[in-house]
Copies of this chain bind each other. A is one copy, B any other.
Amino acid sequence: MSITDTREIIMATARKMVQTRGYNGLSFRELAKEVGIKSASIHYHFPTKGDLGAALARRYTEDGMAYLNGLRAESDDLGTWMKGYTDIFRAALLNDNRMCLCGIMAAEFDDLPPEVRVEVDAFTDLNVQWLSGVLDACRPQLSAEEQTRQAMAIYAAIEGAQLVARGRDDISVFDATVQAYQSAGLLPG
């Protein structure tokens, strides 16, 4: 086992925990037990909880953007793009009623150390940027400001749909809500 392996196992395990219980709900002792080391050893890889949280958010953003950019590269269909987008959030709910890592952390805003806040912000920015790109492809007549505003609204609405559906532990709430967004024309396609 090299350095990287243990570090990766810690991150994968912690990511699941945060998506389920939140940043505050993440316990170093519980995490260590699951990984099979002592809690003090976690601090060797991530000096503070904030370091771990920031690393998790950064990786989560990287993975998400790789998926989304692949989606745009592989298809020219607006419907495929938007279904691919909403499916990220749907998949989290399907996966043990988990939440978007940065969505759940946004709710804990006041408890987050600055280095984590920065990464949560970056996730939001990149989501809005990607959605703006999609809007530019399908609604080029809109100004850049209007595209950004609509992209922000789409992102916020999807996060809200996930939050509420999760609170009900009912994925059909998510599906029905996304469909209502589509009917209203909030989502393109």
Evaluate contact between B24 and A22: CB separation under 8 angstroms: yes
- How many copies the complex holds: the figure is 2
Q: Which residues of B contact A120 (CB under 8 A)?
A: 167
0/1 interface trace, chain A 145-187, chain B, CB 8 Å (1 if under): 0000110110111111101111111000100110111001110
With A24-B22, A180-B150 as contacts: A164 and B156 at CB distance below 8 Å = yes
Evaluate contact between A21 and B103: CB separation under 8 angstroms: no
0/1 interface trace, chain A 25-39, chain B, CB 8 Å (1 if under): 100000000000000
Evaluate contact between A107 and B111: CB separation under 8 angstroms: no
- Interface size band for A: 35 or more
Residue contacts A-B, CB under 8 angstroms, 21 given: A21-B108, A22-B22, A24-B25, A24-B108, A25-B111, A97-B110, A99-B107, A103-B107, A107-B107, A121-B168, A124-B168, A149-B179, A150-B180, A152-B180, A153-B176, A156-B165, A156-B173, A181-B186, A184-B184, A184-B185, A185-B185
The 8 closest A-B pairs by CB, nearest first: A160-B160, A153-B180, A106-B167, A107-B107, A24-B24, A156-B160, A156-B164, A184-B186
